[in-house]
Amino acid sequence: MKVLITGAAGFLGSNLCDRFLADGHEVVGLDNFLTGHPDNIAHLIGHERFQFIRHNISEYTYVAGHLDGVLHFASPASPVDYLHMPIQTLKVGSLGTHNALGIALAKGARFLLASTSEVYGDPLVHPQSESYWGHVNPVGPRGCYDEAKRFAEAMTMAYHRAQGVDTRIVRIFNTYGPRMRPHDGRVVSNFIVQALLGEPLTLYGDGSQTRSFCFVSDEVDGIYRLFHSQERMPVNIGNPNEFTVRQLAELVIELTGSASKVVELPLPADDPKVRQPDITRARTLLGWEPTVQLREGLVRTIEYFRGLSGTPRLQPPT
């Protein structure tokens, strides 16, 4: 197969490129490096089945030749990023999704949308199954991401129903691992980098809010299976093991052997109090479930960030 992956230089996009290439497929990667980083695809430049286009998918996009698949992964994905770039976030979820669907339609290609657990907002149902419609504040600071992704899901279903595009929707829950940006502001990268630099770990609120963390290799495997399945309705892909954010901070301090302490800072507006995927559909439809648990995944992620020690990427941004 020949697939187009938007957001190819991002954390998930680049790991997905690797997966398709490892299985013998051809990949056209597209990224404008807004939040992606060239280092994530440096090893692919020159690969005979990889081609890279530097471009913003929110603008008109032309891709030559045939395509069998389009996977739309371009978007800021950290709350800190989408707070700083709300308009780009709204555009890539709306105009970017429209353009990516247009390419899929023109090429007769299968389309997969990277959606998110944020479509459930600050959920009133726990754990979250795909049948839950969510509890999102459209005018709050996270609204730009949540509503863009909800629009993207609606647009994807419209292209399926009205235009016959063969579509898939994955709802991705908190994912971590190598190639996260050291300073993208998400909790796993923040805590590990802070611990490695000997700085205090910034716990927002009292740390009793929960998240369920999925290691990147599991997440990519679930997405890859969904892409190759026949399932058109949304599927949650995430690890259902739930932790408080304080437990995560303590585990990071233990595994890095850091002398860092924890400081409590104000909880951001609309921060979801709980989050845990119900993965019954992924289990039954895709035969998928995560295999890497938090302790092991964190050890591998810490190793990755240690490897950046001494490079400008690990230093706090000036």
For ligand UDP, the binding residue among 40, 128, 190, 276 (CB under 6 A) is 190
Residues between 62 and 81 that touch ligand UDP (CB under 6 A): 78-79
Radius of gyration of the chain, Cα coordinates, nearest whole angstrom: 19
Which of 83-91, 204-212, 218-226, 230-238 is the region at the interface with ligand UDP (rule: CB under 6 A)? 204-212
Which of 23-31, 66-74, 201-209, 284-292 is the region at the interface with ligand UDP (rule: CB under 6 A)? 201-209
Task: Mark 20-59 with x for binding to ligand UDP (rule: CB under 6 A) and - for no binding.
Answer: ----------------------------------------
Which of 13-21, 46-54, 196-204, 276-284 is the region at the interface with ligand UDP (rule: CB under 6 A)? 196-204
Tokens of 249: 């901070």
Q: How far is the CB of 56 from ligand UDP (least distance, A)?
A: 23
Residues between 265 and 294 that touch ligand UDP (CB under 6 A): 267-268, 271
Q: How far is the CB of 293 from ligand UDP (least distance, A)?
A: 18
Q: Given the structure tokens 């290691």, which residue do they identify? A: 215
Q: Which of 60, 82, 120, 145 is catalytic?
A: 145
Tokens of 306: 């240690």
For ligand UDP, the binding residue among 12, 170, 245, 292 (CB under 6 A) is 245
User: Is 120 annotated in the active site?
Assistant: no
Contact call for residue 209 and ligand UDP (CB under 6 A):
yes
| Chain-centroid distance, C-alpha 182 | 15
Q: How far is the CB of 78 from ligand UDP (least distance, A)?
A: 6
Nearer to ligand UDP, 27 or 249 (CB): 249
Which of 30-38, 57-65, 186-194, 289-297 is the region at the interface with ligand UDP (rule: CB under 6 A)? 186-194
* Residues listed for the chain: 318
Task: Establish whether the linkage from the previous residue to 200 is cis, with ω within 30° of 0.
Answer: no
Nearer to ligand UDP, 173 or 227 (CB): 173
Contact call for residue 174 and ligand UDP (CB under 6 A):
yes
Task: Give the C-alpha separation, 269 to 7, whole Å.
Answer: 27
Q: How far is the CB of 246 from ligand UDP (least distance, A)?
A: 8
Task: Give the C-alpha separation, 174 to 216, whole Å.
Answer: 10
Q: Is the dihedral of CA 157, 158, 159, 162 positive or negative?
A: positive
Q: How far is the CB of 77 from ligand UDP (least distance, A)?
A: 8
Nearer to ligand UDP, 107 or 186 (CB): 186
Nearer to ligand UDP, 165 or 180 (CB): 180
Contacts of 120 (CB under 8 A, 6+ apart): 128, 132, 134, 135, 136, 272, 275
List residues near ligand UDP by CB under 6 A. Answer: 78-79, 174, 186-187, 190, 202-204, 209, 211, 245, 267-268, 271
Residue numbers annotated as active site: 145
